[in-house]
Each structure stands twice: as structure tokens, then as C-alpha cells.
Structure 1
Amino acid sequence: MSIRNILIHPDPRLKKVTAPVASIDDDLRRLADDMLETMYDAPGIGLAAPQVGVMRRVIVMDCEKDAEATAQPMVLINPEVIWTSEETSVYEEGCLSIPEQYAEVQRPAGVEVSWTDLSGKLQRERFDGLWATCVQHEIDHLDGKLFIDYLGPLKRQMITRKMQKLKREMARG
């Protein structure tokens, strides 16, 4: 397992729609392990493959924030939202590809998602609360959408300019 570099917005790869995973192999399992390690190291609660430069439909997440509780890492391959609640909720979202920037985003409060797990079995689960927000946020990444795309143009431009400045500072090292 190794920690991968997380792409910082604006990066054209973060705006691309990813390709479905055709087969589950050792490379995919290694990617999932690396993504979980990268997410925990960041630290974050979710990470999508395009954020580490891999244009495939894979996300990882673990919204268990209680340090005393057992970690609940999840790997979702080809995830798809198949139901959304009419009720919505607003969470202050952040993103590992948009560090130190947060904004309130309104999304369905509950979702049902289908996906394939690492053993190749089809799974379905309903998520609510932070888990629902996280899974929707990560699936958006697979479709080339960032949480700032839900914001007004001024706020989105302000955050993008901050990220461009951050990337310039990082490049200077």
C-alpha cells in the first residue's frame, strides 16, 4: 500500500467522466488499498479514483468519525444512485482536491446506491446523514463534478483562484 498524490483543482482530470470498471483484478485491489490509505492519511472521509489521477469508477469512504469506534472502510466500484429522498439536507462540504475550502451544499438527505464490491458481488444500501452526503459527493467526482459546481459563480471563481494560487506556491516548493 502506498499514499498517492491527490490532484488539486483546477486539474482537467477532475472534470472528466470516468470509465466503468470492467473487471476486478489485483491492480484494482491495489488501487482501492492505496486510495483508503491516502484518504486516511489526508485525512478525509471519502476519495474518488480521479482525485488520484485514475479515470475509473471507484470510490472509497469511511464516515465513522468517532476515534473510539471501529473504522468502516468501504470500496464502491461502479457506484450508482438508484433512489433519492425528496427530503434534502445541507452539509458544509470540503474536498481533498480543494484543500481548506468549505461551503454549504444541499443534496438529497437519503440515497440508495448500488455498486460492485471487491469480491465482485453486487451490493445495495441506503445511506443517510453524512454517509449520504459523502457518497453523493464522491459519485459526483466520477462524473466530473465538484462540490463547488453547486455554488454561485462568484464563490466558485473565488475558490478556484485560491486553488490556482496554492498550486503556484506548491510548484515553487
Structure 2
Amino acid sequence: MPARPLVLFPDPRLSARAAPEEAFGPDLRAVADDVRETLLAVSALGLTAPHIGILRRVVVARMAPEDAPRVYVNPVVLWASPETATHDEGSVSMPGVRERITRPARIRLGYRDLAGDAHEEEAADFSAAILQHEIDQLDGLFWIDRLSRLKRDRLLKRFAKVKPV
């Protein structure tokens, strides 16, 4: 499947809640393939179906650029540690700006694979941040919504200067 065009901020689809997957078949695999190909084309670590305009609960992520992308369908955070970690975050849908975001340092994730089989896994540090960032996107929470109003306003001013036309 070819890479798809990215939905760019401030498109309202980036703030919409994605629908859960109920059917696990060829259509879901096609969506996951499109997200994967787009992730690779834009050199992202994580990407959701809403990033390419499809409001479905599909995440493709890799924890490092050299890792193979993995598909997470209907992912949810089942547990989050009380300890936190802060990492630089950004979005391919809002290129040119990044900011520090604090999130739980460790999580337990529940999700389904493309066959519909249920899985759980734990993630820590930057891997946990990647997965939480993408699950937020599926919930209609764009990453800048995690910033204080002051930091968000400053970031939006910076973005206005660098955003593609």
C-alpha cells in the first residue's frame, strides 16, 4: 500500500475520538498497511490512523528508528506507574515544533493484533511515552493539549512561524 497524505494541525480530525475496531479482516489490514507505509515514509516512531484521516483505533509504532513497526489495535493503558518521566514530543501533523511532556514512566498496555487476538505488554521510559502519545491521539487528545496554556500559546506562535504553507 502507498503512503497516505498526513492530516495537519489544526484539522479537527486530530481532536476527534477514533472508533474502536470490531471487525478483524482485510479492511483492517489495509488500514494498518497504509499507516505503516506512511510511518516509514515520514520517518516517524509512532503514527495513528487519524494521522492519515481515518478515525479508527489503529496505532503503528516502533521504539527506535531501526525497529520493525508493530501494529496495536484498540490499545488501552491498563496501568500506569506513579513515577513520571519527561521527554521531548512532537507530531508529524505539526512539523517543526517540539516540547517537553511529562507522562507516567511505565505502563501496561492492552491491545489486539490484526487477527483480533488480545495481548498485554509493559513499556517503560521513551517506549511508554510513544505509546501513551499515540493512544492520546486515538482519544482525540492532541499532544499540545498536555501542555500548560502558557507553553501551548508559545508553541502555537512558534508553529505559526515554521508551519508549511
Equivalence for 1:34: 34
Q: What pairs up with 1:26-65 in 2 under 5 angstroms?
A: 26-65=26-65
Counterpart-to-counterpart distance in 2, 1:162 and 1:3:
28
Equivalence for 1:80: 76
Counterpart-to-counterpart distance in 1, 2:78 and 2:148:
27
Task: Compute the displacement of 1:120 (Å).
Answer: 1.5
Q: Could you say what the CA RMSD is over the residues aligned between the two structures, in angstroms?
A: 1.6
Counterpart-to-counterpart distance in 2, 1:107 and 1:59:
19
Counterpart-to-counterpart distance in 2, 1:56 and 1:165:
31
The answer to whether the 8 Å contact 2:63/2:127 transfers is yes
SS of aligned partner of 2:122? strand
The answer to whether the 8 Å contact 2:47/2:60 transfers is yes
SS of aligned partner of 1:44? coil
Equivalence for 1:3: 3
Q: Which letter does structure 1 place at the counterpart of 2:42?
A: A
Counterpart-to-counterpart distance in 2, 1:85 and 1:157:
29
Task: Compute the displacement of 1:155 (Å).
Answer: 2.6
SS of aligned partner of 1:94? strand
Task: Compute the displacement of 1:162 (Å).
Answer: 5.0
| Residue 108 (structure 2) pairs with residue 112 (structure 1) | yes
Task: Compute the displacement of 1:166 (Å).
Answer: 5.8
Task: Compute the displacement of 1:100 (Å).
Answer: 1.3
Counterpart-to-counterpart distance in 1, 2:32 and 2:54:
11
Task: Compute the displacement of 1:154 (Å).
Answer: 2.9
Q: Which letter does structure 1 place at the counterpart of 2:83?
A: E
Counterpart-to-counterpart distance in 2, 1:29 and 1:6:
19
The aligned length equals 165
Task: Compute the displacement of 1:151 (Å).
Answer: 1.1
Percentage of pairs with the same residue:
38
TM-score, normalised via structure 2 length: 0.93
Show CA shifts across 1:58-81 (max 9, x none).
11101123x4xxx23110110010
Equivalence for 1:136: 132
Counterpart-to-counterpart distance in 1, 2:86 and 2:115:
34
Q: Which letter does structure 1 place at the counterpart of 2:26?
A: D
